[in-house]
Amino acid sequence: MLKPTLRRPFAACLLSLACSSAAAASSPYSTMIVFGDSLADAGQFPDAGGPPGATLRFTNRTGPTFQNGSGETFGLNSSTLLGGMLGVAPGDLQASTSPVRAAQGLADGNNWAVGGDRTDQILSAITTQSQVANTDTSTGVTTVFRTRPGYLAQNNFRADPNALYYLTGGGNDFLQGRVISPAQAISAANNLADGAQALSQAGARYIMVWLLPDIGQTPAVSGTFLQGPSSLLSGVFNQQLVSRLGQINAEVIPLNVPGLVREVLDSPARFGLAADQNLVGTCFSGNGCRANSVYGINGTSPDPTRLLFNDGVHPTVAGQRLIADYGYSILSAPWEITLLPEMANGTLRAQQDELRSQWLADWGNWQNVGEWRAIVAGGGQKLDFDAQSNSASGDGHGYNLTIGGSYRFAEEWRAGLVAGAYRQTLEAGPRDSDYKLSSYIATAFVQYQANHWWADVAASGGKLDYDNLKRKFALGVSEGAEKGDTGGNLWALSGRLGFDLAEQHSRWHVSPFISADYSHVEVDGYAENSSRATALNYDDQTRRSKRLGAGLQGKFEVTPQTQLFGEVAHEREFDTDQQDVTIALNSVPGVDFNLQGYEPQRSLNRASIGLSQKLAPDLTLRAGYNWRKNDDVTQQGVNLALSLDF
């Protein structure tokens, strides 16, 4: 929040406030563009106490001494850490207007945040001019290190629509005495919102915005008579900011940083912080606050990772990591949640594979006209997702039980119905989030078989019960988790037409065929079961699949009682629109955003092989293996079934 020489006099500014008011994954984004103050400054200013060519960041040095002149650089801030997690090019994460980089002939980066900037200056860096300057508080003289056109000004007021924009600001409006009343807090919030709106109007789609941390809960202010007014006006600022963000025509992603900080302070040990220390009343460096006597820079056991604040207002590297992980947990949530419809598709296709395996085993060997054939089958499946730029990798497994039967009502025709219960578990993402699905699916079918030609048509419908959805994510040295449950439904139509190349009584049969499939999966929206800063709620999801295919199936009679059968096919998916989901934070109502997730692949290959064995004239045992594969998803299944004619 503060420039190097602006750290001492801010208490006087807060006094006037109190007197006047009671108050690595590949990236789904093309790049990351940052605007803000010292909380996000990637290194605009020279580092006078660091190695040659180093730049200043407003957190602790990397250690082991943490001292100026030690040759140690400063740790990374949350925006740079988040960009690294998203796979953004390292050069893009560098400072935009650094005189140090310019002197070294290095390219400017996309981080326009400048320590000490107020919200009006942040707005200027977006729309008109970026300036890195420092004011000597004893003389009032301002030294300008470098200026350049602002982001939109230098880009003809066109924003990259595929970039992630990251905004933070407001603290310096308080610390420089510009916010001493609710009206001024509202005005400062409007400046930050105006910046987000300017980006949106220029074409930006994804804009992540911090809510202002509680200024009253910083070491510089906590425990003083300034605490109450500072906290009150921080709340006024955030209320106005949220109101404005909800009106911007973009995917605005709020970060409830004050909520996160409250939760960290409620359970500090969980996050590796010192539970026996005053984490708000002390800091690491002693700059603008009282240095912690144990873990402070001159304490008995110096360790900034045990403290939340480095100085009077800036987080340590531990705090920076928590905020970066928090932002990533929100951005990565749809990469997992959009796999929920794919779980349902997996269970549907497991039933279709089981049914087609039964049909293939029955090929040319139906029950007599007027008779029933009952089946009972059990099986298991394995479902593997490879990571995409917008979806997580995942490993799933499940099991099922299917019962049903068919009735041959004419020489060339039979019809049937099967119903199955399925249980599936998916572990997805780097923390193995745990998603469970129970599915109940029924399929009615009609088959035709005569004079080498054969055909089948099936219609399916089912109920989905996601009874345990546990999303897991990193939070510093700890792990966060949010739980929820929801339901849904599916329906599908499929048909095939084939021609048997062999004669009816041949020991072998080979048949090319064509196929058409349509499925429609609905997953109901749901809210995770907490009011924590990390808890999200999701809108309904719809996943449609439209496929055409061609394949070859075959069958060989080893003995009159034993038969081998198999099938290979290639299918083309015609609905490959990337899945998306609308999300909101439970703790920030009124600001929702739509983020992309899983992208269906165009080509699918599948194969099956099986064996049937007559145990008695009317009783048959069947076993089979099924395999499906596209570029990113592999599904395998095994099944064992009994059929009885009566």
Which residues are known to be catalytic? 38, 311, 314
Kindly provide the residue ranges of all beta strands, DSSP E only, lying in 100-238, ordered along the sequence: 129-135, 142-149, 164-167, 206-210
Residue 35 vs residues 40, 112, 476: alpha-carbon distances, Å? 7, 5, 23
Q: Which of 394, 396, 337 is nearest to 526 (CA)?
A: 337
Residue type at 12 in one-letter notation: A
Asked if residues 630 and 576 have their Cβ atoms less than 8 Å apart, the reply is no
3 state SS of 187: helix
Q: How far is residue 252's CA from residue 250's CA, in Å, rounded to a whole number?
A: 6
Q: Give the tokens for residue 426.
A: 């998916």
Asked if residues 315 and 260 have their Cβ atoms less than 8 Å apart, the reply is no
Q: How far is residue 44's CA from residue 57's CA, in Å, rounded to a whole number?
A: 8
Q: How far is residue 409's CA from residue 242's CA, in Å, rounded to a whole number?
A: 66
Looking only at the bridges linking them, the beta strands covering 142-149 and 129-135 are antiparallel
> If you write DSSP's letter for every residue of 59-70 in order, what string do you get?
S-B-SSS--TTS
Provide the terminal-to-terminal Cα distance of the chain, rounded to the nearest Å: 81
Give Cα 151 to chain centroid, integer Å: 27
Q: How far is residue 106's CA from residue 98's CA, in Å, rounded to a whole number?
A: 10
Q: How far is residue 196's CA from residue 240's CA, in Å, rounded to a whole number?
A: 14
Helix (H) or strand (E) holding 385, with range, is strand 372-385
Q: How far is residue 298's CA from residue 431's CA, in Å, rounded to a whole number?
A: 37
557 Cβ partners below 8 Å, 6+ apart?
Answer: 507, 508, 563
∠ CA 425-428-432, rounded to 5°: 90
Q: Which of 126, 122, 130 is nearest to 97 (CA)?
A: 130
3-state DSSP helix/strand/coil percent for the chain, to nearest 5?
A: 25, 40, 35
Q: How far is residue 628's CA from residue 604's CA, in Å, rounded to a whole number?
A: 7
Kindly provide the residue ranges of all beta strands, DSSP E only, lying in 11-167, ordered along the sequence: 32-35, 129-135, 142-149, 164-167
Burial of 55 (0-12, 13-18, 19+ CB in 10 A): buried
Burial of 78 (0-12, 13-18, 19+ CB in 10 A): buried
Q: Give the tokens for residue 74.
A: 């400063």
